[in-house]
Amino acid sequence: MQQLRIHYFQHVHFEGPGSIEEWCDRRGHSLSSTKFYGDFKLPGLADIDWLIIMGGPMSINDEDKFEWLTVEKQFIQKAIQAGKTILGICLGAQLLAEMLGAKVYQNTYKEIGWFPIELTSSAIQDGLFSNLDLKPTVFHWHGDTFDLPKNAVHLAQSKGCKNQAFLLNKITGLQFHLEMTEQSLEKMLEHGKSELVDGKYIQSKNEMLANQSLIEDNKKMLFSILDKLMEESPIIYGSEPK
């Protein structure tokens, strides 16, 4: 099995890699990070094979509040140009969509909690989502959404949000959080409790905790997707943007 050098971007201390870390440990891949909420250092593009971009409560347009967003976007653009395998989760997917030329904006509804998504016919045909449930229940915590980037494959949708996932070459965007663990769920609930108001697609803290059994199902989905990305994405050592 090829050993990957995986690097992740983390935007706040309570939205870390979750079960992605367990997957890397089980598969023998190295895992490094840039944590933008403290003193941070970006990796060299030639020193990583994959980039994973985590979520966060901020908007992609909050450069005035978070100056590092500009630096992060520049790095993401270079990683795209270098042909890296990139996975974006929630805010990460929104950043990828913008860097690929798509519009990112506030969704009609916030989605917070355990809600089903529906895989598209394209997702069913694509190897990345093959052998998965057609209507899995996954964890959401987002208020923004995005248009599909040009030529991207639409992979999933929900009643509250049309564009839940996309694939473009070696770039994957997921609006939902398959990486949740019991510990990360507790952190999200603690730091996002002000958002738990009445809403069509907003569950209460008790509702979310009552469905923690779904964490294991989501982890299995995540591991399946990561394994398939590994099979389809050969290592590109020494790759730099032209």
Residues 154-182 have a mean pLDDT of 97
pLDDT, tens digit, 9 for 90 and up, residues 65-79: 999 999 999 999 999
Local structure of 208: helix, strand or coil = helix
CATH number of 5-232: 3.40.50.880
pTM over 0.85: yes
**Percent of the chain surpassing pLDDT 70:** 95
Please, which pLDDT band fits residue 240 given cuts at 50, 70 and 90?
Answer: very low
Q: What is the pLDDT of residue 239?
A: 35
Q: In a 3-state reduction of DSSP, which class is residue 205?
A: helix
Distant-in-sequence, close-in-space partners of 216: CB < 8 Å, separation ≥ 6: none
Q: What confidence category does residue 1 fall into, taking pLDDT thresholds of 50, 70 and 90?
A: low
Q: Looking at residue 126, what is its pLDDT? A: 74
Phi and psi, residue 93, nearest 5°: -65, -35
In this predicted model, which residue has the larger pLDDT, 154 or 132?
Answer: 154
Calculate helix-pair angle for 68-81, 91-99, nearest 10 degrees.
Answer: 60
Q: pLDDT tens digit string along 19-51?
A: 999 999 999 999 999 999 999 999 999 999 999
Which residue ranges make up each domain of the chain?
A: 5-232
If you average pLDDT over residues 83-87, what whole number do you get? 97
* DSSP letter, residue 127: G
Q: Which residues of 109-120 are buried (b: 16+ CB within 10 A; e: fewer)?
A: bbbbbbbebebb
